[in-house]
Chain A
């Protein structure tokens, strides 16, 4: 991969939520929402995080922002004065870090306070981050609304006066208000109707160009992520099973879960009848994940080794493109496709 600037280094991140039971609230187990994830986010890219519900993609997003307590690992973000671990920041430092990293939530209905006007909602982060003059704030918010293609005078209205797509754009405006570098979009378009979804997707792409933003785009919709993302990380039960560039992922799908996921997506073209790879059963509970490779009970290509030994995420270089995959049978998959790959350290 070319020498790109790494904005965020996540190393062995673990977020476990305790399960408490009984009168004494004794911890009886853990839900391993994020289980040993390492990844790099480059400046200026869009990294897509995909997976089914309960695979930990939202937890990972929230962990990066330190909105949930992270159990273990490190998340180093590049500030002006070098990399600092977000987990070890003091309260004030964390506030400053959140000026750089912002989040857009899934549900545009519950993420805006219904009792505040749009101005009220957007004003808070500005006060927090130091614009004391009210006129200046009005000016800035007006500009923000125009950036997300909404008229300036909408700032005096309340959230109930807006449609879902408009609200989502207000959510984006709020995230932009502090001029962040990294925006985590947590299912930002999933709740929208298709015709509106396209508007928001185009807006996100436009803003990225204009403001040199970096996105972590969390979604379950692979066709959306394919349109937006430079690189895609596929998650399953708290772990990354495959991570590579968008083109490479669709050209050389290596992990059986990714293959099944791709085959399950209905394509809006009735002439294309494709063969589905059926997956048996449901996603297992992250509180009690299967032994070995967590995908093995549903894997159509499961071997003895998979049941006992947990595969690690290894990097292969295929045609000069880095391709991370965590599967014991990846060699066989590569050979079957006749792809030459080098394993990188």
Chain B
């Protein structure tokens, strides 16, 4: 992945391997994932269910379940004063990790109803984070802060809403409350795990505007996980396409959409109906299904479903190939894929 170490990079994940151990079986969920998150930019990670996108986000915050392990690789967080913190080496629920969570790196989960605690008021849950990271505030000040956070996220009548419970909020409002909570300590990095999948399009458009505002005004680095190519095109500066635990293609969003170099990216783009193209568009489904994670193909993970697959693909996992500045792909045949066009 990109080696230029300019000051923009706030988080660097390098060759990350994560495994889950269940029933005496081992699932290698992440198999060498590398990417950078930059200040004031949005990185979108896109892929189908089970490809490891959420695991990537959770391993950055060390929120993985007990039966999992970071096998190798590094997650480095670059603080503003220039110090480097190796997140993967910190104690999982130790003091240091806890001081980073919410303050420097915050996460928004997919389903706001299960992520919010139903027995506390929304305001209380926001204040919990502020209390943890800004000690010494009086009750009055805390309350003011939480109300202000809610108001900033466009929640009307924030003073009243602050004292209400999650079930009194609608889906879109809950997600705003989640973002308010995430943004309460002005984190440097915002991880958003499918933040709008459970919401209607008009509401998700509002949430996207909100997130773009944060990026613009606070220079927050955003890593967004999604499975919707439309959302990627709309929101992303850089995009990483994941398949079965690997980033198969990484690049600027314009480059990846205009010249997909990995057969999976190309197939993915061809299989979605695009609004405005009417009924005459040819959809080309990807044949077969995603392989069983306990019974993976030996070489390239996409090989059994790929049109370009050759003998080498069956036995060997392709390494990252340089396509152009900031555009990488994991495919032996990427030149052919490029030549065939979209």
Chain A interface residues (CB < 8 Å from chain B): 52-53, 163, 165-166, 193-199, 201-202, 220, 222-224, 226-228, 246-247, 250, 260-272, 276, 278-279, 281-283
Contacts and interface: CB of A to CB of B under 8 A. Distances in A.
B305 to A, nearest CB: 9
Interface residues of B, number: 49
B271 A194 contact: yes
Interface stretch (B9-17, B281-289, B312-320): B281-289
B170 A282 contact: yes
B155 to A, nearest CB: 10
Contacts of B274: 223, 267-269
Contacts of B286: 195, 198
Interface stretch (B26-34, B56-64, B68-76, B227-235): B227-235
A226 B273 CA distance: 8
A282 B173 contact: yes
Interface of B: 48-49, 156, 170-173, 200-206, 208-209, 227-236, 253-254, 257-258, 267-269, 271-279, 281, 283-286, 289-290
Contacts of A271: 254, 257-258
A266 B231 contact: yes
Contacts of B156: 281
Given A197-B271, A198-B272, A53 B232 contact: no
A265 B233 contact: no
A276 to B, nearest CB: 6
A195 B208 CA distance: 24
10 contacts: A53-B200, A193-B290, A194-B229, A198-B271, A199-B285, A226-B276, A265-B230, A268-B274, A278-B206, A278-B209
**Looking at chain A's contact residues, is the secondary structure mostly helix, strand, loop, or mixed?**
helix
B289 A250 contact: no
Given A193-B48, A250-B276, A261 B257 contact: no
A281 B203 CA distance: 8
Nearest to A203: B285
Contact of A222 (B229, B268, B275, B285): B275
A268 B48 contact: no
A194 B243 CA distance: 13
Q: Choose among A194, A220, A264, A279 the residue with the greatest number of B CB atoms under 10 Å from its CB.
A: A194
Nearest to A280: B206
Contacts of A226: 273, 275-279
Contacts of B49: 193
B234 A267 contact: yes
